[in-house]
Structure 1
Amino acid sequence: MNRPTNLTNALLLALLLGTSATLAGALGMLLMSSVVVTVYAVCMGPLRSRLSDSSGLLASMLLAATLTSCANILAQRWALQWHQALGIYAGLIALQCVVLEYNGFFRQALTERLKFFGLSSGLLLTLAVLRELFGQGYLGHGLSAHWQGLALFNQGLHLITLVPGAFILLGLLLAARQAWTRSNALSKETHHP
């Protein structure tokens, strides 16, 4: 069974890149996603041992789609402007639940699940902050109706707000992480005789 301890096994790239254009969008999707995944885990827990593999997959898809649809309806009701901008990605939360279930994520220890959630949430929020900051020139626009955000410079690099720019920025973040871990590994090797 695959263990989704790293981000490449279960994090949906379309969800990450599509919802990280603004900090408000990323926070909204993070809230919606964490609520749906948590309720899914609670509801699917007792069913998991009672179902066979094929009926478990069907129950998983049905439960994930139902919970995501309910969350989507609530988002339409209470956050229509956010839903109009990012509602197209909300359906991918159900797919994420099924992928996590298939990879055995919910059978792992709570610490492993929290570690994965922290890493994926951190990546989403980091990407959102960088995309909004460098792409639009301000940070936090759209978080509140009374606050217009923190303007840092007049115009940003518009490419960063688009999905190709998000791919480039994600690649730079992954390269920086790789360089950081490699430099730490090299410094540990040089200190030992």
Structure 2
Amino acid sequence: MSRQWLAAVSLAPLLGITQTLLDACAIAGFSVLLITLHHLAMGSLHRWLAARGRMLASVLLAAALTTCLELSLRAWALPLHQALTPYPTLIAVQCLMFEYAQGENRHWRDTAQLLGAFAALCIALGLCRELLAGWAGLRLAALLPGAFFLLGLLLALYNRVCLRRAPSRRQGKC
């Protein structure tokens, strides 16, 4: 399992719920919290269970954590629950993908970097979409296709600023 699968699984909440900064911060916080709790609990169960038992325990734990989140949002933050409606349940899939991607190598540093990058991307996308839709009057930014465009622009900016430039000459044969 590679980081590309984790990115693909994270796209639905990333693009779907980041219309406002509040929604983006909420889904980023809930994702980081639930994945961290899942990682902690599975870390302690990892040495006691066989491979099949670990998978079953991981699925049950992810479902229990997301159910607790759903019920607590319904009880104490109904407007937030209604704004986030289908996306908090998708965090269970993210928990399973993180668990599966970790495998036997359970390094906290890698998990923290991935979760931090996901949270930063959620918040940046939510902020950009809210600014463009609300203040600049660009209604496309509030819609899902606008989220795809904005994500592409943010990734291009990241590639331009953070990654080295490719060599000017072509490599390989055409």
The alignment's TM-score, normalised by the length of structure 1, stands at 0.78
State how far apart, in whole Å, the 2-side matches of 1:91 and 1:65 are.
8
Structure 2 letter corresponding to 1:9? W
Structure number with greater CO (CA < 8 Å, separation at least 6) is 2
- Percent identity, aligned pairs only, is 36
Contact 1:106 1:113 in 2 (8 A): no
Q: Report the equivalent of 1:18.
A: 16
CA distance in 1, matches of 2:2, 2:15: 23
**Mapping 1:64-143, distance limit 5 Å:** 64-104=62-102, 107-137=105-135
1: CA distance, partners of 2:39 / 2:100: 13
Per-residue Cα deviation, 1:90-135 (whole angstroms, up to 9, x for no partner): 1100000001111117843222222112211111100000000001
1:9 paired residue number: 5
Alignment partners' CA distance in 2, 1:3 and 1:49: 23
For structure 1, list consecutive stretches of 5 or more residues without a partner in the other structure: 138-152, 188-193
Alpha-carbon contact 1:160-1:169 (below 8 Å) kept: yes
- Give me the TM-score of the superposition, normalised by structure 2: 0.86
Is 1:50 the equivalent of 2:48?
yes
Higher mean C-alpha displacement, 173-182 vs 23-32: 173-182
* Poorly superposed stretches of 4+, deviation over 4 Å: none
Matched, 1:168 2:166: no
> Unaligned regions of 5+ residues in structure 2, if any?
168-174
- Find the partner of 1:177 among 155, 158, 168: 158
- Residue identity in the other structure for 2:26: G
1:59-113 deviation digits (Å, cap 9, x = unpaired): 1111101111001111111111111011210110000000111111784322222
Give the superposed CA RMSD: 2.0
Instruction: Give distance in 1, aligned partners of 2:5 and 2:46.
Output: 21
Residue 75 of structure 2 aligns to which amino acid in structure 1? R
Count of residues in Structure 1 that have an aligned counterpart in Structure 2: 165
Contact (CA 8 Å) 2:32, 2:119: kept in 1 or not? no
What is the CA-CA distance between 1:19 and the residue it aligns to?
1.6
